[in-house]
Amino acid sequence: MSIPQHHSQRVPTRRGALVVTAGMACLALASSGCKSAVDDAGSSGRKQGGTLNIAQSADIAPNTFLSQNNPNFSVIRTVFNTLTEYDHTTLKPQPQLATSWKWSPDHKSITLQLRDGVTFHSGRPFTADDVIFTIKAITRQDVPSQFKHVAQAITSMKADGAHTLTLRMAQPVSNLFDLFEVMPIVDKATFDDLLAGKKFVGTGPFKVVKYTPGSGLQLKRNDHYWKSGRPYLDKVNISVQSQSQSMKASLRSGQSQLALDLAPLDTVSLKGDPNFKVVASDAADAAYYIGSNVTVPPLNKPQFRQAVAWAVDRDRILKQVLAGIGQTSSLPWSPSSPAFDKDKADTYHHDLGKAKQLIAQAGAKNAAVNIVFNSGLPTNQAIAEIVQFDLKQAGLRAKLVPLQAADFFGKLSGGGLPGLFVNVHGFGQLNPATLVKGAFPFNAEKNASNFDSGTYRTLAQQVWTTPGGSKAHAAYAKMNDFLLKQEFVNDLVVSSHTFTISTKLKDLKYNLYDYLDLDDAYLTK
pLDDT at 508 over 70: yes
Q: Please write the tens of the pLDDT for every residue from 65-93.
A: 999 999 999 999 999 999 999 999 998 99
End-to-end CA distance of the chain: 43
CA dihedral (33, 37, 43, 48) in degrees, to 10, reads: -100
Judged against a pLDDT cut of 70, whether residue 17 lies above it is answered with: no
Residue 103, beta-bridge partner list: 110
Q: What does the alpha-carbon distance between residue 223 and residue 231 come to, in Å, rounded to a whole number?
A: 8
Residue 33's pLDDT is: 57
Give the Cα separation of 510 and 344 in Å (integer): 30
Q: Average pLDDT, stretch 106-131? A: 97
How buried is 123 (Cβ within 10 angstroms: 0-12 exposed, 13-18 middle, 19+ buried)? exposed
Side-by-side strand order, sheet with 51-56? 24-27, 17-20, 276-280, 498-502, 258-260, 51-56, 235-240, 216-221, 206-212
% of the chain beyond a pLDDT of 90: 82
Please give the model's pTM, rounded to 2 decimal places. Answer: 0.87
At 401, is the secondary structure helix, strand, or coil?
A: strand
What is the arithmetic mean of pLDDT over 47-67?
93
- The SS3 assignment for 476 reads helix
CATH topology of domain 78-193: Dipeptide-binding Protein; domain 1 (3.90.76)
pLDDT one-digit tens code per residue, 196-214: 999 999 999 999 999 999 9
* pLDDT of 3 higher than 80: no
| Separation CA 102–CA 267 (nearest Å) | 44
Contacts of 380 (CB under 8 A, 6+ apart): 288, 373, 374, 422, 423, 424
For residue 370, what are the contacts with CB-CB under 8 A and spacing of at least 6? 296, 399, 401, 418, 419, 420
Mean pLDDT estimate for the chain: 90
Beta strands in 296-419, from DSSP E residues, in sequence order: 327-328, 368-374, 397-403
**Amino acid sitting at position 443:** N
CATH topology for the 286-495 domain = Dipeptide-binding Protein; domain 3 (3.10.105)
Mean local confidence (pLDDT), 328-345: 95
* Top-confidence residue, 414 or 388: 388
Cβ partners under 8 Å of residue 82, min gap 6 = 96, 97, 180, 181, 182, 183, 184, 185, 511, 515
Assign 468 a pLDDT band (cuts: 50, 70, 90): confident
Residues of the chain with CATH 3.90.76.10: 78-193
40: exposed, middle or buried (Cβ count in 10 Å: 0-12, 13-18, 19+): exposed
The angle subtended at Cα 20 by Cα 17 and Cα 23, nearest 5°, is 115
Q: Strand, coil or helix: what is 119?
A: strand
User: Measured between alpha carbons, how far is 390 from 413 in angstroms, rounded to an integer?
Assistant: 27
- Higher-confidence residue of 21 and 384: namely 384
Residue 35 pLDDT class (50, 70, 90 cuts): low
| Window from 104-108, 313-317, 477-481 with minimum mean pLDDT | 104-108
Cite the residue boundaries of each domain of the chain with CATH code 3.10.105.10. 286-495
Which of 425, 429, 424, 440 lies closest to 513 in space, CA to CA? 429
CB atoms within 10 A of CB 210: 11
CA angle 359, 360, 365 (to 5 degrees): 75
Range with the poorest average pLDDT among 51-60, 127-136, 286-295, 407-416: 407-416
Burial of 127 (0-12, 13-18, 19+ CB in 10 A): middle
Instruction: Specify the pLDDT at position 150.
Output: 96
Spatial CA neighbour of 116 closest among 153, 163, 64: 163
